[in-house]
């Protein structure tokens, strides 16, 4: 099982980097998880989108889904037969937002002529060949789901965006690799008062990894100024296992 980081930036992107986007390969399948601004250009360094089994979106914030617009432009301007369309799995209740986005770029059918669109149900596992992917709801400013992925006897957990919550511990349980957002330097940086948080401090990512018995921790979705050493140091103070900061275009064996 392999994870490739196509984008690690938070909503305010690091210079020259894409926002959230992660290529997961395992069980004979290849799935793109989240598709924020800049991700499609990074994907095309490696694969044509037709080489994907699916794109799966965690939530409807722009830094996790807006490059769906760009992805559509990879394809010719004609309707593809349904069996040839790329499978795109959206979060529950997102259909109206996606339609508004399509209308905003001038064509209500912007997505559906090239994609097989569906919504997951918020809890049931999805299967892509030998890759099992279970959504687990987290706590964010809008509905959001992380994913626990299993293939080839390995487990990868991706938090998406979240405040500390019970779902986060369930998500990370026994992960061989925990891919965790670590967006905040201080609680004052979150978009809402602390009681309405939507992101993690690196130390909280480390604490989660410790409680869940994760083997390794990979920090992402964070601002980079000193190479992310500030985040790695804070997380390592709470977690005795391996802690790294995600590097763009680097692959990690799970």
Residue 139 in domain = yes
Q: Is residue 69 part of a domain?
A: yes
Give the pLDDT score at 141.
Answer: 93
Residue 251 lies in a domain: no
End-to-end CA distance of the chain: 5
Q: What is the pLDDT of residues 201-224, one digit of tens each?
A: 999 999 999 999 999 999 999 999
pLDDT score at 195: 67
User: Residue 233 falls within a domain, yes or no?
Assistant: yes
Determine the average pLDDT of the residues in 85-109: 95
Report the pLDDT averaged over residues 105-127.
Answer: 94
53-62, 68-77, 189-198, 241-250 — which is least confidently predicted?
A: 189-198
Cα–Cα distance measured from residue 251 to residue 62, given in angstroms and rounded to the nearest whole number: 24
pLDDT of 89 > 90? The answer is yes
Q: Domain residues for 98?
A: 2-246
Average of per-residue pLDDT across 82-87: 91
How many helices (H) and strands (E) the chain has is answered by 7, 14
Assign residue 53 a region: left if phi > 0, alpha if psi is -120 to 50, beta otherwise? Answer: alpha
Mean pLDDT of the chain: 95
Q: Which residues contact 8 (CB under 8 A, 6 or more apart)?
A: 14, 17, 18, 20, 220, 221, 222, 224, 246, 247, 248
Whether residue 9 lies inside any domain: the answer is: yes
How much is the average pLDDT of 187-193?
A: 78
* pTM for this entry: 0.96
Domain membership of residue 254 (yes or no) is: no
Question: Is residue 120 in a domain?
Answer: yes
In this prediction, residue 33 carries a pLDDT of 98
Phi, psi (deg, nearest 5) at residue 250: -100, 145
Give the CATH number of the domain where residue 14 resides: 3.60.15.10
> In the chain, how many domains are there?
1
* 14-48 tens-digit pLDDT: 999 999 999 999 999 999 999 999 999 999 999 99
The reply to whether 253 falls in a domain is no
pLDDT (tens digit per residue) in 219-253? 999 999 878 899 999 999 999 999 999 999 999 99
Is the confidence at residue 118, as pLDDT, over 70? yes
132: which strand partners?
Answer: 127, 150
């Amino acid at each position: 099982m392999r994870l490739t980081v196509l984008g690690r930036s938070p909503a305010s992107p690091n210079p020259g980097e894409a926002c959230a986007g992660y290529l997961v390969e395992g069980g004979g399948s290849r799935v793109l998880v989240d598709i924020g601004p800049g991700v499609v250009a990074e994907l095309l360094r490696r694969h044509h989108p037709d080489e994907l089994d699916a794109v799966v979106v965690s939530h409807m914030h722009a830094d996790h889904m807006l490059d769906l617009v760009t992805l559509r432009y990879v394809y010719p301007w004609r309707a593809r037969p349904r069996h040839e369309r790329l499978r795109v799995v959206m979060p529950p209740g997102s259909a109206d937002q996606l339609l508004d986005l399509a209308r905003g770029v001038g064509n209500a059918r912007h997505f559906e002529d090239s994609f097989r669109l569906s919504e997951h149900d918020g809890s049931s596992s999805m299967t892509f060949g030998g890759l099992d992917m279970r959504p687990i709801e987290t706590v964010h400013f809008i509905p959001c789901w992380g994913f626990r992925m299993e293939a080839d006897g390995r487990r990868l957990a991706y938090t998406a965006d979240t405040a500390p919550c019970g779902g986060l511990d369930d998500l990370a349980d026994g992960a061989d690799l925990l891919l965790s957002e670590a967006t905040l330097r201080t609680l004052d940086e979150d978009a809402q008062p602390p009681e309405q948080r939507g992101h993690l401090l690196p130390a909280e990512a480390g604490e989660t990894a410790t409680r869940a018995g994760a083997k390794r921790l990979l920090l992402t979705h964070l601002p980079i100024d000193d190479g992310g050493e500030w985040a790695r140091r804070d997380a390592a103070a709470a977690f005795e296992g391996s802690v790294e900061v995600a590097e763009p275009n680097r692959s990690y064996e799970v």
